[in-house]
C-alpha cells in the first residue's frame, strides 16, 4: 500500500471500531502530518480518498468530520462497538464471582434498566447538589491555589465533626485516631494491608459483600469464609476453630445491616466477637457503612464500642448516608493507626480539600440529623412494600430477610431456581438483580438474590418485581416438569438379572 492508502486505512479502522464517532472532527491536515510523520500532500490525498468513500466530509473553514451516515458506504469490516450495548451477553454458568460482579454492574448502566441489583442507593435520596454547591463555594473563596490537597490524616474540621458525631451516638473516640479515606473501600484496603501480609488468610462472613472479597484478593491475601447466620451474624464457634488453627491473620465483619444478608448483630454477640478476637490478639476490621440507616430510634452500637485493646479497625463512609458522589470515608484503626496513615500517604498522597470542607460544613450547619430522619423513614417504607411484594408475587418456598436498616433485601428462592439463570432472564426483560453467586463461591447461595429497595415504588418497579416472580414461577414449573419426565422414564425401565456383574437398564 502507498503511504496515503495506509493512513486512510488507519483512519477507516478507527471509524469502524467506534474510536471516531459520527459527527466528530478528525485531526487536522497539519496535525495528522505531524502525528504520522507524513507530508501534507500525502495527508490530503488520504483525506480525499476517505471522502470519496463516504467516510468523512469536509466542512468549509472547520476541517474534516466523520460523516453522520456512512454505514452504507463503509467497506466490509469490523462492526463498530456501541458505547452502551442494549443488552449484555449472558455470563457463562461457571463465571467467577468477580466476572459476575462486573457483568452485573455493566448491566445496571444499560438503557431501560430497573436497577434492583444495584449496590448503590437511589441518588435522589441525598443532598448531593447542596454539598457540591458548598464545595464550589469553598473553591471560589480560596486565598491561594491548592498544590497538593490535604495530606493524611485529612481535613481537621471534618475529623472533628466525625468525632463529635460518634460521641453523640455513643462511641467515645479520640479525634486523633480518625483518618479520612476515599470511601469505605479504601479504608478497608488500608486496614487489610496494615494487619496482614500477602498470602495471609482473612476470616470473612459467608456470604459477604463482594467488594471485600476483591480487596482481599487485591492485597494478595485469601478469604476464609465462616458460616454466618442470616439473623445473628458470623458463627462464633466456627470462627474460634479457624482462629485456633493459627492460619488466620484477622477477620472482617459488617455487624450492622450486613451486605447482603441485612442482619443486625445483637450487642451481646458483638461483645463476644471482640472478646474472642482479643483472646487470640488478632485484629478485627469492622465495616459500619450502613450504621446510620437504622429504622429504630437508637443507632446500633458498632463492635468498636467494645474494643479495649485497640484491636478493632473501624471503617465507614458518607456514601450510603449523605453523598455517594464525593467518596469520603474514614477509619479509626486503633493500635494500627500509624501504619494505616503511612499506607494512606503511600496510596494517594493527598485528597481534595474542598469536598471534605463541604461535608464538614453540612454536618455542622445543614441539618444532617433531619436529613437522616427523612432518609430512614423512606427506606423503612420502601422495605415493607418491597418485601410484601416479593412474598406476594414469588413462588411458594421463597423467604426474605427482615432488614432493620439499610436498603438491601436478601431473597432465598426455591432451590430449583438458579439465580444465574434468573439473572440472565431478568436482563432480557430490562431488570437487573444481584445473584447470590456474587457474594461467595459457596454453592449454597446459588438460589439466592439480593434486591435494592431504595428506589421509589412506582409502576415500573412494581412491574419489575412481578416479572421476576413470574420468571421464578416458570423456572419452578419447568424443573418440576423435567423431574416428572425423569420419574416417568425410570418407571418404564425393565431390569434383568445381571449376567456380568453389571446392572443394565432398558
- Read off the pLDDT of residues 483-499 as tens digits, 9 standing for 90 and up: 555 555 444 444 444 33
Residue 267 dihedral angles phi and psi, to the nearest 5°: -60, -40
Map out the domains of the chain as residue ranges: 3-66, 101-124+372-491, 146-366
Structure-block grid coordinates of residue 469: 416472580
Identify the pLDDT of residue 413.
97
DSSP structure class, residue 396: T
Lowest mean pLDDT, pick from 262-276, 330-344, 425-439: 425-439
Whole-number Å distance between alpha carbons of 310 and 302: 14
Q: Are 284 and 251 in contact (CB under 8 A)?
A: yes
CATH 3.90.1150.10: does it fit domain 101-124+372-491?
Answer: yes
Q: Cell numbers of 386, please?
A: 418491597
Distance CA 295, CA 221 (A): 36
- Looking at residue 73, its pLDDT comes to 42
39-60 pLDDT tens trace = 999 999 999 999 988 899 988 8
What pLDDT is stored for residue 441 in this prediction? 81
Question: Which of 94-108, 324-338, 381-395 bottoms out in mean pLDDT, i.e. has the lowest?
Answer: 94-108
Mean pLDDT of the chain: 87
Amino acid 244: pLDDT: 97
Specify the higher pLDDT residue, 380 or 14.
Answer: 380
3-state secondary structure of 204: strand
Higher-confidence residue: 61 or 333? 333
Query: In the predicted model, what is the mean pLDDT of residues 400-428?
Result: 94
Of 12-21, 236-245, 267-276, 353-362, the range with the lowest mean pLDDT is 12-21
Whether the predicted pLDDT of 505 surpasses 50:
no
- Out of 26-30, 86-90, 178-182, 426-430, which region has the weakest mean confidence (pLDDT)? 86-90
| Fold type of domain 3-66 | Arc Repressor Mutant, subunit A (1.10.10)
Q: pLDDT tens digits, residue range 283-311?
A: 999 999 999 999 999 999 999 999 999 99
Sorted by sequence, the CB contacts under 8 Å of residue 412 that are 6+ apart come out as 398, 399, 400, 447, 448
Q: Which residue has the higher pLDDT, 91 or 17?
A: 17
What pLDDT, on a 0 to 100 scale, did the predictor assign at position 479? 76
For the cut 80, the answer to whether the pLDDT of residue 175 exceeds it is yes
Q: What pLDDT score does 481 carry?
A: 61
Answer whether residue 65 shows pLDDT above 80: yes
pLDDT band at 259 (very low <50, low <70, confident <90, very high): very high
Q: Quick one: pLDDT at residue 80? A: 44
pLDDT number for residue 97: 66
Burial class for 166, CB neighbours closer than 10 Å (0-12, 13-18, 19+):
buried
Q: For residues 200 and 223, is the Cβ–Cβ distance under 8 A?
A: no
- Global pTM reads 0.80
CATH code matching the domain that covers 146-366, chosen among 3.40.640.10, 3.40.50.740, 3.30.2020.30, 3.50.50.60: 3.40.640.10
User: pLDDT tens-digit profile of 453-485?
Assistant: 999 999 999 999 999 999 999 999 987 665 555
| 323-344 confidence digits (pLDDT tens) | 998 899 999 999 999 999 999 9
Amino acid at each position: 500500500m502507498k503511504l496515503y492508502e495506509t493512513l486512510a486505512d488507519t483512519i477507516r479502522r478507527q471509524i469502524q471500531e467506534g474510536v471516531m464517532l459520527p459527527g466528530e472532527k478528525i485531526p487536522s491536515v497539519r496535525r495528522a502530518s505531524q502525528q504520522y510523520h507524513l507530508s501534507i500532500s500525502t495527508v490530503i490525498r488520504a483525506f480525499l480518498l476517505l471522502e470519496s468513500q463516504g467516510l468523512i466530509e469536509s466542512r468549509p473553514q472547520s476541517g474534516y468530520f466523520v460523516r453522520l451516515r456512512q454505514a452504507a458506504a463503509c467497506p466490509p469490516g469490523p462492526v463498530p462497538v456501541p458505547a452502551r450495548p442494549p443488552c449484555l451477553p449472558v455470563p457463562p454458568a461457571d463465571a467467577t464471582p468477580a466476572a459476575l460482579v462486573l457483568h452485573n454492574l455493566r448491566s445496571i448502566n444499560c438503557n431501560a434498566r430497573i436497577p434492583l441489583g444495584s449496590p448503590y442507593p437511589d441518588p435522589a435520596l441525598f443532598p448531593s447538589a447542596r454539598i457540591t454547591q458548598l464545595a464550589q463555594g469553598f473553591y471560589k473563596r480560596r486565598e491561594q491555589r491548592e498544590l497538593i490537597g490535604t495530606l493524611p490524616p485529612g481535613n481537621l474540621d471534618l475529623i472533628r465533626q466525625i468525632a463529635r458525631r460518634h460521641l453523640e451516638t455513643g462511641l467515645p473516640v479520640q479525634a486523633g485516631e480518625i483518618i479520612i479515606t476515599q470511601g469505605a473501600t479504601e479504608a478497608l484496603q488500608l486496614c487489610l494491608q496494615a494487619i496482614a501480609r500477602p498470602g495471609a488468610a482473612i476470616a470473612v462472613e459467608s456470604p459477604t459483600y463482594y467488594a471485600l472479597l476483591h480487596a482481599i484478593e487485591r492485597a494478595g491475601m485469601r478469604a476464609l469464609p465462616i458460616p454466618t447466620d442470616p439473623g445473628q451474624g458470623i458463627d462464633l464457634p466456627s470462627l474460634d476453630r479457624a482462629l485456633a488453627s493459627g492460619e488466620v491473620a484477622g477477620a472482617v465483619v459488617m455487624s450492622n445491616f450486613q451486605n447482603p444478608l441485612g442482619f443486625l448483630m445483637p450487642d451481646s454477640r458483638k461483645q463476644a466477637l471482640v472478646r474472642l478476637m482479643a483472646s487470640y490478639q488478632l485484629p478485627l476490621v469492622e465495616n459500619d457503612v450502613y450504621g446510620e440507616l437504622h429504622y429504630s430510634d437508637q443507632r446500633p452500637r458498632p463492635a468498636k464500642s467494645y474494643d479495649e485493646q485497640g484491636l478493632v479497625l473501624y471503617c465507614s463512609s458518607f456514601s450510603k448516608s449523605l453523598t455517594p458522589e464525593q467518596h469520603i470515608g474514614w477509619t479509626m484503626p486503633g493500635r494500627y493507626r500509624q501504619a494505616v496513615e503511612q499506607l494512606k500517604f503511600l496510596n494517594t498522597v493527598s485528597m481534595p480539600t474542598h469536598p471534605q470542607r463541604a461535608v464538614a460544613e453540612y454536618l455542622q450547619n445543614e441539618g444532617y440529623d433531619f436529613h437522616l430522619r427523612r432518609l430512614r423513614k423512606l427506606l423503612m417504607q420502601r422495605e415493607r412494600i418491597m418485601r410484601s411484594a416479593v412474598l406476594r408475587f414469588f413462588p411458594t418456598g421463597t423467604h426474605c430477610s427482615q432488614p432493620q436498616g439499610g436498603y438491601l433485601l436478601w431473597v432465598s428462592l426455591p432451590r430449583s431456581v438458579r439465580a444465574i439463570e434468573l439473572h440472565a432472564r431478568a436482563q432480557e426483560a430490562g431488570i437487573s438483580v444481584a445473584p447470590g453467586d456474587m457474594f461467595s463461591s459457596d454453592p449454597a447461595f446459588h438460589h439466592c438474590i439480593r434486591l435494592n429497595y431504595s428506589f421509589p415504588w412506582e409502576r415500573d418497579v412494581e412491574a419489575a418485581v412481578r416479572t421476576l416472580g413470574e420468571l421464578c414461577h416458570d423456572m419452578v414449573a419447568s424443573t418440576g416438569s423435567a423431574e416428572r419426565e425423569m420419574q416417568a422414564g425410570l418407571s418404564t425401565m425393565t431390569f434383568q438379572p445381571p449376567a456380568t456383574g453389571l446392572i443394565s437398564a432398558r
